[in-house]
Amino acid sequence: MASSKKVKMAVGGNGGGPDRPSGRFWTQWIKPKGAALLSETLGRAYFVIKNHGPSAVLLVAENGDLMDLVAGAVRATYVHGELRVENPSKDPVLIEFDFLPLPFKN
């Protein structure tokens, strides 16, 4: 029984991630050896991302993190300015993400 479940997940093409948006977060497929420019002029915010795989992606935030995010991992970070996610692998990768604005300081 476990082997048939593994086959179903592999056939989905995204390492077991959702096959459609959940309605709670933004989703983006990133082509092999491609990148997703998510923002060029983003105001101060928190950014939450989950990599549904099947390969690692590179998170590049102009004023924030520069890191590899392995398949299945989640990261929350501060961002401001340009934000992109790069896919260095030969497989398409599905990411799920959301922006949470920072409160204004008076």
pLDDT in tens, 48-90: 999 999 999 999 988 877 899 999 999 999 898 999 999 999 9
Which of the listed CATH numbers 2.60.120.10, 3.90.76.10, 3.40.50.620, 2.60.40.3880 matches domain 25-101? 2.60.120.10
**Alpha helices, H only, the chain:** 2-11
Torsion angle of C-alpha atoms 77, 22, 39, 80, degrees rounded to 10: -20
pLDDT of residue 98: 93
Decide which of 23 and 93 is more confident: 93
Confidence of residue 104 (pLDDT cuts 50, 70, 90): confident
Nearest Cα neighbor of 57 from 65, 47, 67, 44 is 67
pTM: 0.73
pLDDT of residue 70: 96
Q: Where are the beta strands (DSSP E) in 32-103?
A: 35-51, 57-61, 66-69, 74-86, 93-101
Give the rounded percent of residues in the chain with a pLDDT score beyond 70. Answer: 76
Q: Radius of gyration (Cα) for the chain, nearest Å? A: 15
Residue ranges covered by each domain of the chain: 25-101
**Cα 86-92-97 angle, rounded to 5 deg:** 60
Confidence of residue 43 (pLDDT cuts 50, 70, 90): confident
